[in-house]
Structure 1
Amino acid sequence: MKCGKPLRTDTEEYCPDCREHGSYLNCGLNLWMHREPVAGALYRFKYHNRRSFGKIFACELAEHYRSQISNWEIEQIIPIPLHRSRMRKRGFNQAEIIARELSDATGISVCTNALFRIRKTAPQKSLGRKKRQANLQGAFAVSKTWKPCRNALLIDDIYTTGATLNKAAKMLRMAGVQNVYFLTISIGQGI
């Protein structure tokens, strides 16, 4: 298992996405399937300023995956960044809120100045698999002043095709991170 999507049969090791597309991610886990009531809660969190939901989500991540985070020997928690224009519009980065709360719950440092979104991209939710990949070309960069850790944990709210997390992981690996893992609140069933 690599992304956490449900498998069709007990004999499958990877979902179709992980089988067909290479990945810079070692492994990842998700709390819930992206359907109600989770989908509605995430929507309110992101678009209706329910920042307090971030603490609830992070506590659930810590409760369910504390031992896995320890097994992965995570050294830094890195949230998927927003482009500065989207950050100005929304007023906060939901992944950063979750990452900071998870840091508080686990004692692992959060790093918000390692990974940057340098190109404004269209919202991924409106795009299919191939367009998601193209949309993210050149979207991320790593700070030249950041010292890479050995094992990093990316945090995002939703995993659909994994395009965003994979592009971010690629940049971290190019900067010298050996292993990139991820946690998300929910996972879609694919596009």
Structure 2
Amino acid sequence: MEALEKSWRRLTRFVLPPRCLLCGAAGSEGIDLCGECALELPRNRSCCARCALPLAVSAPMCGQCLRRTPSWHAAWAPFRYGWPLDRLESRYKFGADLAAGRVLSTLWQREPCPVQLPQLLLVVPLHQKRLRQRGYNQALELARPLARALDVPLRHDILQRFRATDAQTELDALSRRRNVRGAFVLREGVALPAHVAILDDVMTTGATLAECARVLRRNGVQRVDVWALARAPSPRG
């Protein structure tokens, strides 16, 4: 089946060659993104090793982590949330543009993983109401090909969103933490390995990932890492 899917993708690319989703130019390196737009992608090379917050110079811990130690061990966010990646992410997450999602997924797979690979990869779950509205979990669709590329087991049914929460977009950091407090539970009767990573599409304040990490650690996971496609910069610049 996988070989058939690869053949179909090659045939599709031959009939419909890739076009840049941002500017309409010819795609490059087999994806719907041209070389010039790809060069503009804000990669998160200098950041805090603990929370992936973009910094002028990489550091083991940023000031925020020193003041408030995160509930996870390490973070990986290969991109900064900014132009033009934010346009692709918005189209994928809120516009149901699955082509943009495929571009983002491929870009992530091409980035080297700087942290130890976990024994299990989980995704931040959506509440059933939000899942019905959107039709898909954007984090899960990013995670599937990444997990295959890294040869890491992926589960989407272990961590569950116990209650619906307000959208985090318009909330400040404190409100975000309150909004997701107690929102997640683990499926009963599941044995978890010692090292687990949780994946989301975008990490802003880290409140959602932190709550997921706390749930896992309370249930015996020794090391929890957090992964996100992109990390938002500090609002203070």
| TM-score normalised according to structure 1 size | 0.90
Q: Which residue is 2:68 aligned to?
A: 21
Gaps of 5+ in 2: 1-48
Q: 2:91 aligns with which of 39, 44, 61?
A: 44
Q: In 1, distance between residues paired with 2:156 and 2:149?
A: 17
Q: In 2, distance between residues paired with 1:150 and 1:48?
A: 37
Judged with a 3 Å threshold, the aligned counterparts in structure 2 of structure 1 residues 24 and 50 are, in CA distance, closer, same or farther, namely: same
Q: Which residue is 2:162 aligned to?
A: 118
Structure with higher Rg: it is 2
Q: In 1, distance between residues paired with 2:63 and 2:76?
A: 16
Q: Which residue is 2:39 aligned to?
A: none
- Residue 20 (structure 1) shift: 2.0
Q: Which residue is 1:63 aligned to?
A: 110
Gaps of 5+ in 1: none
Moved more, 133-142 or 53-62: 53-62
Across the aligned residues of Structure 1 and Structure 2, the Cα RMSD in angstroms comes to: 1.7
Q: String of CA shifts for 1:55-113, please: whole Å, max 9, x gaps.
A: 433333332234x35xx241111011011110010000001111111122122111111
Q: Which amino acid aligns with 2:167?
A: P
Percent identity between matched residues is 26
- Residue 131 (structure 1) shift: 0.3
Q: 1:132 aligns with which of 165, 170, 176?
A: 176
- Residue 54 (structure 1) shift: 3.4
RCO comparison, higher one (Cα < 8 Å, 6+) = 1
- Residue 29 (structure 1) shift: 1.4
Q: String of CA shifts for 1:22-77, please: whole Å, max 9, x gaps.
A: 222101111211111111111111111122433433333332234x35xx241111
Q: Which residue is 2:194 aligned to?
A: 150
SS at structure 2 position matched to 1:77? strand
- Residue 146 (structure 1) shift: 1.7
- Residue 132 (structure 1) shift: 0.5
- Residue 9 (structure 1) shift: 5.6
- Residue 17 (structure 1) shift: 2.5
Q: Which amino acid aligns with 2:72?
A: L
Q: In 2, distance between residues paired with 1:62 and 1:182?
A: 16
Judged with a 3 Å threshold, the aligned counterparts in structure 2 of structure 1 residues 54 and 104 are, in CA distance, closer, same or farther, namely: farther
SS at structure 2 position matched to 1:126? coil
SS at structure 2 position matched to 1:134? helix
Q: Which residue is 1:164 aligned to?
A: 208
Q: Which residue is 1:179 aligned to?
A: 223
**Count of aligned positions:** 187
CA contact (8 A) 1:121 1:136 kept: yes
| TM-score normalised according to structure 2 size | 0.73
Q: In 2, distance between residues paired with 1:99 and 1:183?
A: 10
CA contact (8 A) 1:113 1:146 kept: no
Judged with a 3 Å threshold, the aligned counterparts in structure 2 of structure 1 residues 87 and 134 are, in CA distance, closer, same or farther, namely: same
